Chains A and B, each alone.
Chain A
Amino acid sequence: MTGLRLAAFALVVVALALFPLGAGNYPVKLLQEILIMGIFAMSLDLLMGYAGMVSFGHSAFFGIGGYVAALALARNPGLVSALLLPALAAGLAALVIGFFSIRVGGVYFIMLTLAFSQMFFAYTFQVSWLGAEDGLVGIPRPRVPGWDLGSLRGFHAYLLVLLALAALVLWRVVRSPFGHVLRGIHENEARMEALGYPVDRYKLVAFVIAGVIAGVAGSLYTQFNGSITPDAFYWQTSGEALLMVIIGGTGTLGGAMLGAAAFILLQSLVSTYTERWMLILGATFILFVLFAPGGIVGALRGRIGLRA
């Protein structure tokens, strides 16, 4: 099974890599947006699908990654600014926010993570040094010797490399003993505690890993657009990631990417034919929750109604 999975994965990566050769600029850009949001959604899936933590404030780390990248790249366009600093900043924020939120757990966890991301939203919307409601614009892409990230194909390759890395990291985490403990916590927290596991600490580590990857996704978003706005922090950004994970299938990682594709394609393409895009999305989502909680992946696996 694993060999088959690996082959399928490799095939997908190759297909994605070759895409710009045949397609026009606009579809390639659409794909790139899907890949970036897919990374964001995958990080949320780690939290939701594996650790069982529902966060409505995941956009906090996406936004932090985005803004830190914007501020850093404007001064020093290199990979450190593009990747390292945003990841560190997001990780630190996740550590702090996670520490306070995990303690309370349950529905209060949802509320507190939401509150934190909204606070970031309110702050960035207000202050002029962060561009207020217009955000930061004119952000250059990082300069890597021998690689033109300004070109469509150059950036595409860069994205694929990072996507592969993120996917690999998450895949390893999920398959590791740590990942197994996480799933145990998801299934029966009380039992894991009784067995002596420091449950909160495991959750915090998961939260930080997810936060770091979300931060990288955010910084990629800034690099992709050349700008970042407070919307990145808004709770609907978190909500959209949630939708992507559910539609794709929680606890599958690959599902999150599929969900991102479904969401963005729905948004861009369906809107050409009908104004009622939001209605369709809402209805689709409701139907998935009711009848296909395994999402697209769950349905594909023929296991409708069961979690992966």
Chain B
Amino acid sequence: MPVDLFGQALNGLAYGVLLFLLSVGLTLIFGMLDVINLAHGSFYMLGAYAGLSLIAATDNFWLALLAAPLAVGLIGALIERSCLRPLYRRPPLDQVLLTFGFIYLFEDLVKWIWGGRIRSIPPPDLFSGSVSLGGTIIPSYRLFVIVFGLVMAVLLYVLIERTRLGAVIRAGVFDAEMTAGMGINIHRVFTAVFAFGAALGGLSGVIAGPIQSAFPSMGVTILIPALIVVVVGGLGSLKGSLVGSLVIGQAETFGKAWLPDAAMLIIYVVMAGIVLIRPQGLFGRPLK
């Protein structure tokens, strides 16, 4: 059977971009707060469900795309302020464990409010068909996801590298104490970064919704690939998150297409390989 290389590459790109949107929040949170936010998958899930309800209420995908991440960001801010901040003096393990508890909480909360059934999220009318491109056929929504994701990557880059806010964040990532010593309210920055990361997670959930629908265990399912991307790319690195997710996206897609029996194993092998050979990931800071 002839292989549709271009088609599969596009599939991998769409999936990779989705992973990027999810993992960039995770890596930022780690970079700044040294916290592996295991509840990040929950933010993804909350975003998708918030999107579901908003679309059902307003019939407007774009509105949901804007509002749902804001809602999730707010939840993130609340969590950081009330539960995480008291734990900063404690070993980082405690913070990781806290976020682990939130996984259970959020999953059940979602089931309580929206029920346990899988819920379908319609793509916007503008992108509900399929297009022919370069000899292959791809749903127009996935093309939108690719473009959207790459644009977001550029915007994030500009934000982090070229603005004053970004400079503050980068400084905080590099050395939080020094930054606080410079007179910047580091606590507020922490909250903002966590909320921002959460919002990005929620955004990726809304974007993913029309492709894979919404179900209560979706956060748990996507968490492992997101963690793997972050490890491969390098904890705390935006560039690493982008490269890592594109690589993992292609690896998983072509794995499914060519080695279906090994599909599940491939990303773990990649991750194990990276951690063994270059533990800080492709672009992470060298190990302390």
A283 and B105 form a contact (CB under 8 A): yes
Mark the stretch among A3-11, A113-121, A135-143, A150-158 that contacts chain B: A113-121
* Nearest CB of A to B102, in Å: 6
Interface string of A287-308 (1 = CB under 8 A from B): 0011001000000000000000
B272 and A286 form a contact (CB under 8 A): no
A100 and B108 form a contact (CB under 8 A): no
Interface string of B253-288 (1 = CB under 8 A from A): 000000001001100110110011001000000011
Cβ–Cβ < 8 Å partners of B265 in chain A: 119, 122-123, 126
CB-contact partner of A276 in B36, B83, B112, B220, under 8 A: B112
The residue of chain A having its C-beta at the shortest distance from the C-beta of B265 within the complex is A122
CB-contact partner of A111 in B94, B231, B287, under 8 A: B231
CB-contact partner of B228 in A115, A126, A285, under 8 A: A115
A1 on interface, CB distance cutoff 8 Å: no
The residue of chain A having its C-beta at the shortest distance from the C-beta of B94 within the complex is A289
B227 and A114 form a contact (CB under 8 A): yes
B252 on interface, CB distance cutoff 8 Å: no
CB-contact partner of B87 in A54, A105, A107, A290, under 8 A: A290
A147 on interface, CB distance cutoff 8 Å: no
Cβ–Cβ < 8 Å partners of B86 in chain A: 290
Give residues 103-159 of B contacting A (CB, 8 Å).
103-109, 111-112
B36 and A112 form a contact (CB under 8 A): no
Known contacts A112-B272, A114-B227, A286-B102; is-contact A279 B108 (Cβ 8 Å) = yes
- Residue from B87, B90, B96 having most chain A Cβ neighbours under 10 A: B96
Cβ–Cβ < 8 Å partners of A242 in chain B: 97, 100
B208 on interface, CB distance cutoff 8 Å: no
A278 on interface, CB distance cutoff 8 Å: yes
A235 and B224 form a contact (CB under 8 A): yes
B228 and A279 form a contact (CB under 8 A): no
Bound CA–CA A254/B210 (angstroms): 48
A279 and B264 form a contact (CB under 8 A): no
Cβ–Cβ < 8 Å partners of A290 in chain B: 83, 86-87, 98
CB-contact partner of B287 in A106, A110, A275, under 8 A: A106
B105 and A108 form a contact (CB under 8 A): no
Give residues 80-98 of B contacting A (CB, 8 Å).
83, 86-87, 90, 92-94, 96-98
Bound CA–CA A276/B227 (angstroms): 28
Cβ–Cβ < 8 Å partners of B287 in chain A: 104-106, 108
Cβ–Cβ < 8 Å partners of A277 in chain B: 108
A282 and B275 form a contact (CB under 8 A): no
The residue of chain B having its C-beta at the shortest distance from the C-beta of A116 within the complex is B272
The secondary-structure label for the interface of chain A is helix
A107 and B36 form a contact (CB under 8 A): yes
The secondary-structure label for the interface of chain B is helix
Give residues 253-280 of A contacting B (CB, 8 Å).
275-279
B272 and A285 form a contact (CB under 8 A): no
* Nearest CB of A to B178, in Å: 21
Bound CA–CA A54/B108 (angstroms): 26
B268 and A54 form a contact (CB under 8 A): no
Cβ–Cβ < 8 Å partners of B36 in chain A: 107, 110
Known contacts A242-B97, A289-B94, A289-B98; is-contact A118 B224 (Cβ 8 Å) = yes
A239 on interface, CB distance cutoff 8 Å: yes
Give residues 29-85 of B contacting A (CB, 8 Å).
30, 36, 83
* Nearest CB of B to A130, in Å: 13
Bound CA–CA A110/B227 (angstroms): 11
Cβ–Cβ < 8 Å partners of B228 in chain A: 115
* Nearest CB of A to B257, in Å: 17
Bound CA–CA A100/B279 (angstroms): 11
B264 and A278 form a contact (CB under 8 A): no
B235 on interface, CB distance cutoff 8 Å: yes
Bound CA–CA A118/B90 (angstroms): 29
CB-contact partner of A108 in B92, B98, B106, B279, under 8 A: B279
Cβ–Cβ < 8 Å partners of A283 in chain B: 101, 105
A281 on interface, CB distance cutoff 8 Å: yes
Cβ–Cβ < 8 Å partners of A171 in chain B: none
Known contacts A125-B264, A286-B83; is-contact A54 B93 (Cβ 8 Å) = yes
A115 and B264 form a contact (CB under 8 A): no
* Nearest CB of A to B267, in Å: 9
Bound CA–CA A293/B97 (angstroms): 11
- Known contacts A110-B96, A125-B264, A277-B108; 17 additional CB pairs below 8 A are A108-B279, A108-B287, A112-B275, A115-B275, A122-B264, A122-B268, A126-B264, A126-B265, A279-B109, A282-B106, A282-B108, A283-B105, A285-B97, A285-B101, A285-B104, A286-B102, A293-B90
Between-chain CB contacts (< 8 Å), 15 pairs: A54-B96, A107-B36, A112-B271, A115-B228, A276-B112, A278-B108, A278-B111, A279-B108, A279-B112, A282-B103, A283-B101, A285-B97, A285-B100, A286-B83, A286-B105
Closest 8 CB pairs of A and B: A282-B104, A282-B105, A122-B264, A285-B101, A278-B108, A279-B108, A286-B101, A104-B279
